[in-house]
Structures are given as structure tokens and as C-alpha cells.
């Protein structure tokens, strides 16, 4: 997990950027959310830690963090501009459509799929967005419990 301050500070410094109080607050807000969050949610959460934080800064910071790979953009069928803490460098993630939690998985065997697509379409494929959504283990358990309760 590259979401520890020293690593990020280093990544920022490599671009001549700084790890400020505000940026730290944004990072922590995204990290402890352990789910995907919108810029506004980040704003609200980070503000508890850093009350004079501006929304503009949140946007700027999320962009910067996205560039250095500390934070990842999360897509979904409907919502599109959410962020989550990034773990492995090139992993994908599953988002729980019930509680919003985000989990990563690394076994990215997309190579086969990508190759097949390339063969079929003639494209040279350079990027892919794979976003899975479903129900996380806990929400499944809760749902099961609820069912038992009502039955």
C-alpha cells in the first residue's frame, strides 16, 4: 500500500511537489473511507481534520494523487467520479454496490481477453478500464441474516 506518508512524500517530491497539511488530510480521508468516495465526501471528511481546507484544493489534490498513483478513479455503471485509495500498482477493484466498499484483486488475467479483442477488431489496445461491482462478503452475510430474521 503506497498510502503511507513517506512514500507519497517521495513520489510528490520527485515531481517537485510537496506533502502539505491539506494534502495529508485528503489522503487520510480517502484511506480511512475504505470505500469509494466522491470529491465532496472527501471534502467533508478531510475538513474535520483540517477545517480550513478548500474544495478547490480537494479537487487539485485528488488529481495530483491520481497522477502519482496514490489514489484511483473508480468507475461504475452510473457513478463515474469517485476515488479510492490505491493498493497494488496495477490492480483492479470491485466495488460493493451495497455499501460502497472497495476491494482490490490482483489476478488480472485480462491479457487473454485483450488479445482476443485485438485480434477480433484489429485495434492496438493500449488501455483498459475494468470495473467490477457486486456484493461484498459482509453485505451478503447481512442480507442472509435479514432473510432468516424475517422468515
Partner DNA sequence: GAGCCAGTTGAAAACAGTTCCCGTTTTCAG
Partner DNA sequence: CTGAAAACGGGAACTGTTTTCAACTGGCTC
Q: Which residues contact 130 (CB under 8 A, 6 or more apart)?
A: 92, 108, 110
Sole residue written with cell 465532496: 40
Beta strands in 8-120 (DSSP E): 71-74, 82-85, 92-96, 102-105
Residue 97 as a binder of its own copies (CB under 8 A): the answer is: yes
Query: Candidates 59-67, 89-97, 115-123, 140-148 — which segment interacts with DNA by CB under 7 A?
Result: 59-67
Tell me phi and psi for residue 148, to 5 degrees: -60, -40
Going residue by residue from 28 to 57, which x/- string records binding to DNA, judged by CB under 7 A? Answer: ----------xxx---------x-xxxxxx
- Out of its own copies, DNA, none, what residue 126 binds, judged by CB under 5 to 8 A for its kind, is its own copies
Going residue by residue from 35 to 54, which x/- string records binding to its own copies, judged by CB under 8 A? Answer: --------------------
Give buried/exposed letters for 57-74 (b at 16+ CB in 10 A, else e).
bbeebbebbeebebbbbb
Q: How far is the CB of 66 from its own copies (least distance, A)?
A: 10
Residues pairing with 92 in the sheet? 105
The helix-helix angle for 55-67 and 21-33 (nearest 10°) equals 70
Of 10 and 138, CB closest to DNA: 10
Of 55 and 113, CB closest to its own copies: 113
- Determine which residue in the list 75, 87, 99, 142 makes contact with its own copies, applying CB under 8 A: 75
Query: Candidates 20-28, 32-40, 45-53, 101-109 — which segment interacts with its own copies by CB under 8 A?
Result: 101-109
Amino acid at each position: 500500500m503506497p498510502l503511507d506518508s513517506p512514500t507519497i512524500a517521495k513520489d510528490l517530491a520527485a515531481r517537485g511537489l510537496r506533502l502539505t497539511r491539506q494534502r495529508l488530510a485528503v489522503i487520510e480521508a480517502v484511506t480511512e473511507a475504505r470505500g469509494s468516495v466522491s470529491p465532496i465526501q472527501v471534502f467533508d471528511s478531510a475538513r474535520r481534520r483540517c477545517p480550513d481546507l478548500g474544495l478547490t484544493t480537494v479537487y487539485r489534490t485528488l488529481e495530483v494523487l491520481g497522477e502519482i498513483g496514490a489514489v484511483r478513479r473508480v468507475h461504475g455503471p452510473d457513478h463515474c467520479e469517485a476515488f479510492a485509495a490505491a493498493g497494488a500498482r496495477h490492480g483492479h477493484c470491485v466495488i460493493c454496490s451495497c455499501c460502497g466498499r472497495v476491494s482490490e484483486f490482483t489476478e488480472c488475467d485480462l491479457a487473454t481477453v485483450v488479445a482476443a479483442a485485438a485480434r477480433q477488431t484489429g485495434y492496438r489496445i493500449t488501455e483498459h478500464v475494468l470495473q467490477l461491482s457486486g456484493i461484498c462478503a459482509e453485505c451478503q452475510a447481512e442480507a442472509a441474516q435479514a432473510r432468516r430474521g424475517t422468515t
